[in-house]
Amino acid sequence: MKEPNYAKGSPFKRNKMRIYFQFSMIGLACVVIVVVISLLVNRKPAIDYSDADFVQINEPSDSAQVVVFETTEGSFKAVLFEDEAPEYCEYFKGLVNDGYFDDTYVCTIIRTNDLIGGFIGGSKTEDGASADNTNNDKVNIEVSKNTLPLNGTLCSLVQQGGMFRKAKAGSLFTVLGDVVDVDELRSLDAKDVNGFKRVSDMFEQYGGVPSCLQTYTLFGQVYDGWDTLEKIMNTEVTFQDDEDNVNQKPKKEIRITKAYLSTYGENKENGYNIPKKAALPEESAADESK
């Protein structure tokens, strides 16, 4: 006797399962496409530093653009890297020329335990919150093989991107401090991939914040006014309620009273200087034995 159709399963049910399967596959394909697009949008390609010309250690030309920051703690000067970060430098110079940074605040001291990674400036408010007169324009992040996040480097504060948009740079900026772990960098010397031995040598000489590598737009370098930077970075903070003491508000008000553009030729009375890190004990002993 022939088996009835219902014993084999309803053809309507089979069609319905086929439709569910097809839609599931379409949905899965969409998810895969979204993930791939996200990875392509936000990926950070490896940079070959083996032939980099690190512009920060070269004295600028007299015509190089310099921004002078006058603060309540003193003044400091930084040369701009217009060839390495042209879009952001143009944006930043426009803000300076408009007087945007005049009477703005240092809103954050970047700290991890007792190490100071720098400070965030250019805020219209003491706590870094956006105000009605905050410039919220964003520009693309620019990464150059010729710049590194050394001690005193100016970099843009980044607004992280989402699934379909890239991270962007805005009007807040960071002046980096020195939290480099020289011993850790030395341990990487054996793995000289894409010139990273040169990179570690630079951090060993000048210090900096290696974790910012390929993450922020590095658009300038402080070369004068290090005593002012030291005062700002070592200021007391208002609270320390977490284990790492990260990103604390200065206890006293610190303001950028004025920022203006000039040239290196007009601001080189003290020369071009990035302080070198103190030699390690074994290096000092080796030098003395020569």
Distances (CA, A) of 50 to 56, 149, 198, 202, 241: 16, 17, 7, 12, 43
Q: Report the alpha-carbon angle 149-150-156, nearest 5.
A: 40
At residue 124, the pLDDT reads: 95
Per the prediction, the chain carries an average pLDDT of 80
pLDDT of 287 strictly over 80: no
At residue 196, the pLDDT reads: 82
At residue 246, the pLDDT reads: 59
Cα 253 from chain centroid (whole Å): 24
DSSP string, 165-212: S--EEEEEEEEE-----HHHHHHTTT---TTHHHHHHHHHHH-B-GGG
The whole-number average pLDDT for the span 151-155 is 97
CA 38, CA 162: separation in Å to the nearest integer?
A: 8
Using alpha carbons, select from 276, 168, 263 the residue that is nearest to residue 215. Answer: 168
Full-model pTM: 0.78
CA 164, CA 41: separation in Å to the nearest integer?
A: 7
At residue 158, the pLDDT reads: 74
pLDDT in tens, 72-119: 999 999 999 999 999 999 999 999 999 999 999 999 998 866 678 899
At residue 53, the pLDDT reads: 94
**Higher-scoring residue by pLDDT: 180, 31:** 180
At residue 20, the pLDDT reads: 52
CA 184, CA 62: separation in Å to the nearest integer?
A: 37
Query: Which tokens go with 149?
Result: 């996040």
Q: CATH classification of 55-265, choosing from 2.40.100.10, 2.60.40.10, 3.40.50.150, 3.30.1360.70?
A: 2.40.100.10
At residue 144, the pLDDT reads: 94
Question: Model confidence at 9, in pLDDT bands (50, 70, 90)?
Answer: very low
Tokens 């600028």 locate to 60
Task: Say what percent of the chain tops pLDDT 70.
Answer: 72
Distances (CA, A) of 255 to 2, 230, 262: 92, 15, 20
The whole-number average pLDDT for the span 280-287 is 49
**Higher-scoring residue by pLDDT: 263, 1:** 263
At residue 55, the pLDDT reads: 96
pLDDT in tens, 16-48: 555 554 545 444 443 433 333 333 334 455 789
Query: Which tokens go with 107?
Result: 């809103």
Using alpha carbons, select from 82, 101, 268 the residue that is nearest to residue 172. Answer: 101
Least confident of 67-71, 256-260, 270-274, 278-282: 278-282
User: What amino acid is encoded at 80 in this protein?
Assistant: L
At residue 181, the pLDDT reads: 79
At residue 19, the pLDDT reads: 53
**Higher-scoring residue by pLDDT: 191, 21:** 191
pLDDT of 166 strictly over 80: no
At residue 243, the pLDDT reads: 54
**Higher-scoring residue by pLDDT: 100, 13:** 100
DSSP symbol at 31 = H
pLDDT of 178 strictly over 70: yes
Q: Are 121 and 109 in contact (CB under 8 A)?
A: no
pLDDT of 266 strictly over 90: yes
Query: What are the backbone dihedrals phi and psi of residue 90, each rounded to the nearest 5 degrees, phi first?
Result: -65, -45
